[in-house]
């Protein structure tokens, strides 16, 4: 106790990092001599342990209150939603032998790894109590990593292995130890139920909600991280998929971390952001190429908490989307939803120098819409060009509580060329979740914005990717997953029935029979999957010996719902519409998930 007081007094007198060496030595000496005495007193005089005992008793009382007042119930899945159900860990790495086709000689050795939600205890839950009802949303569930290892043996033949594993966050360990659901759902539901969930979760576990770590997986400076933007990145051992705890460099990063940081391929720096429901709402950071320091951290002074899922970069600038999907505690406390898309509010895109501050951001007002994923950004003279997937409505979190969730999602996924301008609860219109590729040209000399849709209404598309060597540079090609609107409408959940290759510098020369705006304005190639087969976690793998931007492969997990078999497809990006060159059958079902990465062996061997 005394040593703690001395340390506190010293820290109040001297700023962090400037404590004189002699005082530091005195504090350490005093602390090291006092600690054994303190331990002895605690053993002889239990009254010194009263605070700990009171805390333990209060937690037990809170646990008993939750157990008696909150009923956890399963959220049932429709037959069409069967592959959204969780799976068990397989326990150890499995060799794969059922391979159709031949892996090319110039295909890089490495690890293809995808993240996705895998709810424990059988699936997503709702709770019912005197405070009302709250529910897990479809994006929740512990992160599960699914990994394929591509190696060659001494004879030069390919060997392929598979493994899966839950990301062992601290909050997952709490529930695993209890052997039952413990955290109360705190995103969707009656406002009083959500507020009570926040309070009780914080009092019992020190966290408002679970650290899910289920959205993306990325590498930086020879280390691999799993991430969802409600918490910190979790370091992962790439060989075993074991979780190694929070990213240590971010100990002074007092907020969540984006699911989509951007690595500058020229400098190796990692540009990130963190959003929070209380001020500062949006903080941008730059992490050094060696991963040891946060070299730049700035509050951009937002006046609302925007649920911003991804930022982007050019060679010199950071590109910041600010669209009207917001998190608002005040709205929740007044009876409204915590997360809400408000299409009548402003939408804007910011361009700031790499090491700029809030005053250096140039903001461009754009048409109100919802954007989660960005294909790429680059500089073109006095313009910054932004390409992203945009829709008229937000898939997160879903309808206002009390509306029929399945009907809402089903209507949103239906294909409708007259996409709804806004989500009207009384008069649902089809197609408000239909996502198209949009291009914004932001002129930072004149302030002018040129905005146009470059893909048509044939297919909704999202989950974009590019050759990562071209991040921040003008690129010719982009790739997306293609929504099966019919299957998604039936399931009330997004299913991706194919892939698209976007040729940004080639105009479309094909027209539909009735000459409507049915086709894309740029050339688009499609790779459609067999009926009732859907993909997730697609990634572009660049040919290490390739000379052209599209010299490489698309790799993706796929699942056939007719035979319940999961596979991995490898598609030649230059022969995009042709059959996959390789199909690898997996030993177990792989649920639909989110984002992935391919880590070449020259990097993965160091992880």
Q: Is residue 527 annotated as involved in ligand binding? A: no
Neighbours of 124 (CB within 10 A): 22
- Cα separation, 553 vs 55, whole angstroms: 55
The distance from CA 276 to its chain's CA centroid, rounded to whole angstroms, is: 15
Is residue 57 within a helix (H) or strand (E), and if so which, with residue range?
A: helix 50-69
Q: Is residue 242 annotated as involved in ligand binding? A: no
Is 349 in contact with 374 (CB distance < 8 Å)? Answer: no
Closest by Cα among 325, 353, 360 to 341:
325
The DSSP letter of residue 117 is: B
Q: Is residue 595 annotated as involved in ligand binding? A: yes
Q: Is residue 260 annotated as involved in ligand binding? A: yes
Closest by Cα among 427, 344, 349, 351 to 392:
344
Tell me how far CA of residue 142 lies from CA of 166, 189, 320, in angstroms: 7, 20, 28
**Tokens standing for residue 226:** 């799993």
Closest by Cα among 275, 254, 268 to 219:
268
What's the first-to-final CA gap in the chain, in angstroms?
A: 41
Is residue 290 within a helix (H) or strand (E), and if so which, with residue range?
A: none
Closest by Cα among 246, 242, 268 to 257:
246
Is 387 in contact with 478 (CB distance < 8 Å)? Answer: yes
294-299 sheet: strands from edge to edge: 262-263, 270-275, 282-287, 294-299
Is 444 in contact with 351 (CB distance < 8 Å)? Answer: yes
Residue numbers in the known binding site for Fe cation are 260, 309, 373, 595
Residue numbers in the known binding site are 260, 309, 373, 595
């Amino acid at each position: 106790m005394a040593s703690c007081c001395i340390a506190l007094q010293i820290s109040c007198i001297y700023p962090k990092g400037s404590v004189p060496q002699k005082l530091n030595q005195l504090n350490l000496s005093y602390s090291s001599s006092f600690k054994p005495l303190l331990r002895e007193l605690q053993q002889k005089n239990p009254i010194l342990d009263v605070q700990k005992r009171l805390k333990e008793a209060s937690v037990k009382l809170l646990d008993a209150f939750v157990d008696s007042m909150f009923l956890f119930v399963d959220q049932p899945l429709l037959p069409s939603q069967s592959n959204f159900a969780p799976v068990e860990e397989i326990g150890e790495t499995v060799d794969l032998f059922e391979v159709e086709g031949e892996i090319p000689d110039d295909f890089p050795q490495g690890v293809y790894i995808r993240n996705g939600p895998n709810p424990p205890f059988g699936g997503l839950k709702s709770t019912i109590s005197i405070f009302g009802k709250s529910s897990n949303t479809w994006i929740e569930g512990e992160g599960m990593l699914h990994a394929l290892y591509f190696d060659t043996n001494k004879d030069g033949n390919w060997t392929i292995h598979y493994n899966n594993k839950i990301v062992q966050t601290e909050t997952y360990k709490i529930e695993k130890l209890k052997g039952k659901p413990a955290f109360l759902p705190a995103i969707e539901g009656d406002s009083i139920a959500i507020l009570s969930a926040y309070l009780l979760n914080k009092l019992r576990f020190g966290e408002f909600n679970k650290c899910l770590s289920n959205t993306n997986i990325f590498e930086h400076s020879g280390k691999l991280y799993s991430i969802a933007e409600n918490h910190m990145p979790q370091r992962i051992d790439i060989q075993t998929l074991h979780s190694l705890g929070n990213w240590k460099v971010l100990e002074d990063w007092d907020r969540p971390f984006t699911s989509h940081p951007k690595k500058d391929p020229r400098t190796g720096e990692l540009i990130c952001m963190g959003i929070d429901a209380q001020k500062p709402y949006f903080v941008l950071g730059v992490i050094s190429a060696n991963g040891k320091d946060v070299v730049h951290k700035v509050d951009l002074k937002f006046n609302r908490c925007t649920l911003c899922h991804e930022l982007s970069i050019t060679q010199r600038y950071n590109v910041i989307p600010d669209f009207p999907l917001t998190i608002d505690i005040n709205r929740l406390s007044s009876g409204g939803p915590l997360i809400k898309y408000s299409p009548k509010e402003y939408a804007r895109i910011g361009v700031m120098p790499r090491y700029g501050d809030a005053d250096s951001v140039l903001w461009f007002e754009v048409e109100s819409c919802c954007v989660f994923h960005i294909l790429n950004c680059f500089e073109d003279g006095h313009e910054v060009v932004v390409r992203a997937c945009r829709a008229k409505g937000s898939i997160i979190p879903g309808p206002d509580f009390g509306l029929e969730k399945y009907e809402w999602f089903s209507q949103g996924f239906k294909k409708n060329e007259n996409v709804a301008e806004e989500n009207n609860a009384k008069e649902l219109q089809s197609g408000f979740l239909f996502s198209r590729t949009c291009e914004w040209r932001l002129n930072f000399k004149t302030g002018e914005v040129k905005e146009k849709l470059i893909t048509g209404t044939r297919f909704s598309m999202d989950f974009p990717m590019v050759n990562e060597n071209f991040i921040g540079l003008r690129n010719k090609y982009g790739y997306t997953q293609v929504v099966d609107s019919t299957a998604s409408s039936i399931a009330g959940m997004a299913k991706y029935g194919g892939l698209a290759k976007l040729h940004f510098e080639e105009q479309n020369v094909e027209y539909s029979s009735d000459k409507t705006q049915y086709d894309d304005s740029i050339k688009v190639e499609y790779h459609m999957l067999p009926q009732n087969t859907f993909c997730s976690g697609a990634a572009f793998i660049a040919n290490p010996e390739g000379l052209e931007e599209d010299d490489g492969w698309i790799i993706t997990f796929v699942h056939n719902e007719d035979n319940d078999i999961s596979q991995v497809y490898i598609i030649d990006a230059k022969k995009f519409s042709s059959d996959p060159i390789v199909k690898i059958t997996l030993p177990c079902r792989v649920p639909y998930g989110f984002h992935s990465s391919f880590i070449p062996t020259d990097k993965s061997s160091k992880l």
